[in-house]
Structure 1
Amino acid sequence: MRGKSYLLALLISAFAAPKSLAADSSLKLPKAQGVSTLKNPEIKSDDSSPAHVYGQIRLEGMQYFTPVPDAPRLTYSQLLSARLSVLKEASWIDAAMDVSGGTFFSRGQTHLILHEAYVASKGDSFKVFAGRKKKDWSDIDHRWNLGLWQPYLTIDALRPEEEGLTGVFFDYNKKDWQVMLMVTPMFIPSMGPDVREEGGSLVADSRWYRAPSRDYDFNSRVNTISYKLDIPEQAKLVNNGGAAVMTRLGDKSKGTWMTVSAGYLPVNDLILKRQAFKQTSADKVDVTVSPAVTYHQIQSMDVGYSFKSVKTTISYLQDKPEPRYPDEEWVIQNLMPIQAYSAAVDFALADIMTKTIAVQIAYLKVAGGAIEDITSTGSRDDTTLYESRLKFTNSLMLRLEGQLATIFKRPLVTRVKYLYDYDQRGSLLNTEFQYYPNQKWAVVLGGDVLGVQDEDYKPSSFLNQFRANDRFYGGMTYVF
């Protein structure tokens, strides 16, 4: 792991690429999805009881159809990854951890991510959690991977991994209602590809990273920008607290229910401030960039109705980022508020090809979410490095998942997602097949296809700028 460049991934990945994605093509087996689902009522709460360990190891090869001329090494990759979930229950406290890591052999890159790590008090209704923990703050935020409530790991943009918030959670949870309060003294932002300085550019060994342009037009003359990074002390970024509250009425498993959440928290994506492009006749301009933290007020509401295997959900989410004004001769990103709406239906098709297939149909509509670079006076700068906070803003998604067939008396599981974004006039298709020769081993084969109807329409949109990233992959997974 390269210390400096890995730190840059933590600090500036937020502005390297938008974080929202509705199609997660990663393999998630039931025993390795996260410690929050590991609770077993049959486990005895005894200090002498052994810890319960679950995990998976995966070896995968991935091939992109279109080479990148400047980085041919990114056409093919081999990844060895592992995930470990541990739950320990004692007579007076529970402890849990969910951690994953991986190594790209051809790139020499290694990452280690702590998804959840917490201790929890005992109690049937009231519990106190301390540490990093995932919670159901908002259906629209979780379903569409918006990353507004909880941060995300987006080393691979098509495999976003939701992370927990870090703090103390006071949770009173009954079957028909729930109240939860979270307070946190610290902030861990979303993480993206491993970004570094190289020859005046901000670069990353990833096909899902878009570097800021180095061309600056001044008086009909194109100047070349040389970027330099100025990383503030970690304490200035981490020491940013916040608070949030969530209430639920009704039982999500049946009948009508409603969830309302509100919070005052740091925006999970770090913003970027930079020196203003100076008026100069020189061919090269040196520009220093630095990450910064801003806060937002966030509110969300979900209303749903569940009947047998059918679940309908209508969701709303809004946030209002606080503007930050830079020092004189500096420019900073100003985030526009977001209003997001979603409607979804989840149901199961039984007895289709003798197997049950889970179906999800959802629609997302987002208003706002632009990014504007502003000066110290609050006026808009002539240049904006990144234009949008989210990848998708007007999308319809269909997802199918379940056991498709049986081969030699062993299950073949499939996962298919199709997303069409009307604002981008483009689509995204994710497919994955998993065949289990036995209970512990799975053979994996999948692919992802991106496309747009008009390559000249909104060239900076996610689907357009990454339309050459069609790929297929295969490998094996061992579950324990």
Structure 2
Amino acid sequence: MRGKTYWLALVFSVLATHTSHAADSSLRLPKAQGTSTIKNLEKSEDSEPAHVYGQIRLEGMQYLTPVPDAPRLTYSQLLSARLSVLKETRWIDAATDVSGGTFFSRGQTHLIVHETYLASKGENFKVFAGRKKKDWSDIDHRWNLGLWQPFLTIDALRPEEEGLTGFFFDYNKKDWEVLFMATPMFIPSMGPDVREEGGGLVADSRWYRAPSRNYDFNSRINTISYKLDIPEQAKLVNNGGASLMTRLGDKSKGTWVVASAGYLPVNDLVLKRQAFKQTSEDKVDVTVQPAVTYHQIQSVDVGYTYKAVKTTISYLQDSPEAHLPEEEWVIQNLKPLQAYSAAVDFSLADVLTKTIAVQIAYLKVVGGGIVDVTSNGTPDDFTLYDSRLKFTNSLMLRLEGQLATWFKRPLVTRIKYLYDYDQRGSLLNTEFQYYPTQKWAVVMGGDVLGVQDESYKPSSFLNQFRANDRFYGGMTYVF
């Protein structure tokens, strides 16, 4: 724990990403030389050696357009590390996946536990206790919606999926699986560290959008002065839930179906606010407080796998609970949404003598808005943010794999292009990794965002952050 600074990052992740997450995916790369090694820590008669994977990365990032109010955010340096450990014993297994990083500035240091759990032994039935990732929904995982599992979104273009925390009861066979999860606690999605400064809510991040400081009151523009009111930690964390997932068929071949349902806290915290107007001044004092709300979530994936080709059709329905705030307060009400997706994953073998993994996917979201309501249920005339998701009508093409060999060493590439029809804009991500040795990699990449019409939907993700084109480079060491 990092005190108030940690909790500002934790509870105000919703401010950093206007209750949404970047569309992305996690195609698995064909293993390139130097991507991982296994190290034996110890041996004993009744246990297996621990398996350890680690990575250290240092990179510099340059944005092409300076921010007038924050020129220090034009260039940054990131030092990050990740460590994954799996320890098997005769009676129990333990696993941990943690990462941390720093941008060498205030509010830009983080330490995240992606997974950590204990697992019972068993050929088919296992019990897990702790934080663990599962494939609840293909559409949620592929598009990084963050509706099933929370995300770390310090960088909106590099979202990190996190596991749910609780007890998992998993009966898993090759052709079918039943998983039940129950949790007594809630860990929300996390974003940049937000703080009060000069009456505004600010963060040292290019991917944070501060709420407006202008308020039209009786046809006069008033200046808003924000104040954070962070509840006790227990009030946010002590929120339980449960979910169920079933799978029929083998996802590696033939036809398969995955269905999931849950009653859980929404991973993005909603915001309550109370306004006090100073009649003698054109000023409004606003107290902002995070709160937890629940949702019912259901999803179905239907797929067919033939050799290296997998087709998937997905549906997800999310129904948040509506709440009315106390007198003189206003709260965000999340609107229900339905999400549809179709995807094809396949491998291009022997293209340029190497294997390239290809993904083509389409996403359509209906609903998913946000309306600020008063204590009597009527919409307020001021809204902090109006959308839950970054992308709602998108086509995505993604390529990953070893592109070529240079001086007998692998050159690995990741390229993703996304076009969102609702925003009339696009996103291009590229990264190249060259491994001069087995453990070292040289990294180079860039991201480009753009819209066709800057006056069309100015609050949309691509339009808000169209000035965040960037390129980066650095080194990675793996062990």
Give the structure-1-normalised TM-score.
0.95
Deviates more, 1:379-388 or 1:277-286: 277-286
The answer for unaligned runs of 5 or more in structure 1 is: none
Question: In structure 1, what is the Cα distance between the partners aligned to 2:396 and 2:93?
Answer: 38
Q: How does 1:91-106 map to 2 (within 5 A)?
A: 91-106=90-105
1:350 offset after TM fit, Å? 1.2
Equivalent residue number for residue 20 of structure 1: 21
Q: What SS is found at the alignment partner of 2:236?
A: helix
CA RMSD of aligned residues (A): 2.2
1:18-68 per-residue CA deviation (whole Å, 9 max, x = no partner) reads 33222369998969xx99xx9x9xx99954433221110000100000000
The correspondence of residues 231-250 of structure 1 with structure 2, limited to 5 A, is 231-250=230-249
Partner of 1:424: 423
Tell me the equivalent position of 2:63. Answer: 64
Q: In structure 1, how many angstroms separate the alpha carbons of the residues matched to 2:302 and 2:107?
A: 46
Q: Give the Cα separation in 2 of the matches to 1:218 and 1:364.
A: 39
- Taking the TM superposition and a 5 Å limit, the aligned residue runs for 1:247-266 are 247-266=246-265
CA 1:27–1:443: 2 relative to 1, 3 Å:
farther
Equivalent pair of 1:26/1:159 in contact (CA under 8 Å) = no
- Report the residue type matching 2:23 in the other structure: A
Is the 8 Å Cα contact of residues 24 and 159 (structure 1) preserved in structure 2? no
Provide the residue aligned with 2:282 in structure 1.
Answer: 283
CA pair 362-297 structure 1, distance change in 2 beyond 3 A: same
User: Which residue of structure 2 lines up, in the alignment, with residue 8 of structure 1?
Assistant: 8
State the alpha-carbon separation in 2 of the partners of residues 287 and 103 from structure 1.
Answer: 32
Which residue of 1 is the match for residue 433 of structure 2?
434
Report deviation, 1:15.
3.4
Contact 1:228 1:287 in 2 (8 A): yes
Take 1:7 and 1:24, find their aligned partners in 2: how far apart are those partners? 28
What amino acid sits opposite 2:116 in the alignment? Answer: A
Is the contact between residue 273 and residue 288 of structure 2 (CA under 8 Å) also seen in structure 1? yes
Instruction: For 1:162-173, list aligned pairs within 5 A.
Output: 162-173=161-172
Instruction: Write the deviation string for residues 379-400 of structure 1: whole angstroms up to 9, x where unpaired.
Output: 1101111000000000000001
> Counterparts of 1:155-234 in structure 2 under 5 Å?
155-234=154-233
Percent identity, please: 83
Give the TM-score normalised by the residue count of structure 2: 0.95
Once residues 48 and 125 of structure 1 are traced to their aligned partners in structure 2, the CA distance between those partners, rounded to angstroms, is 20
Q: Which residue of 2 aligns with 1:51?
A: 50
Indicate conservation of the 8 Å contact 2:275/2:285, yes or no.
no
Match of 1:153 in 2: 152
| Closer, same or farther: CA 29–198 of 1 in aligned 2, 3 Å | farther
Would you say how many aligned residue pairs link Structure 1 and Structure 2? 473
- Relative to 1, partners in 2 of residues 1:195 and 1:250: Cα closer, same or farther, differing over 3 Å? same
The residue identity in structure 1 corresponding to 2:4 is K
**What is the distance in 1 between the residues matched to 2:216 and 2:280?**
11
> 3-state SS of the aligned residue for 1:252?
coil
> What amino acid sits opposite 1:371 in the alignment?
I
What whole-Å deviation, never above 9, does each CA across 1:179-209 have from its counterpart, x for those lacking one? 0000000000000011011111110000000
On the 8 A contact 1:25/1:432 being kept in 2, the answer is: no
Instruction: Give 1:5 deviation, angstroms.
Output: 2.6
Aligned 8 A contact 1:429 1:450 in 2 = yes
For 2:9, give the aligned amino acid: A
**2: CA distance, partners of 1:240 / 1:2:** 21
Question: For residue 4 of structure 1, what is the amino acid of its counterpart?
Answer: K
- Deviation sequence 1:232-268 (CA, Å, 0-9, x none): 1110100000000000000000000000000000000
| Alignment CA distance shift 1:408-1:303 (3 Å) | same
Shift in Å at residue 106 of structure 1?
4.7
CA contact (8 A) 2:125 2:169 kept: yes
Inter-CA distance 156–221: structure 2 relative to 1 (3 Å threshold): same
Separation in 1 of the partners of 2:26 and 2:168?
Answer: 31
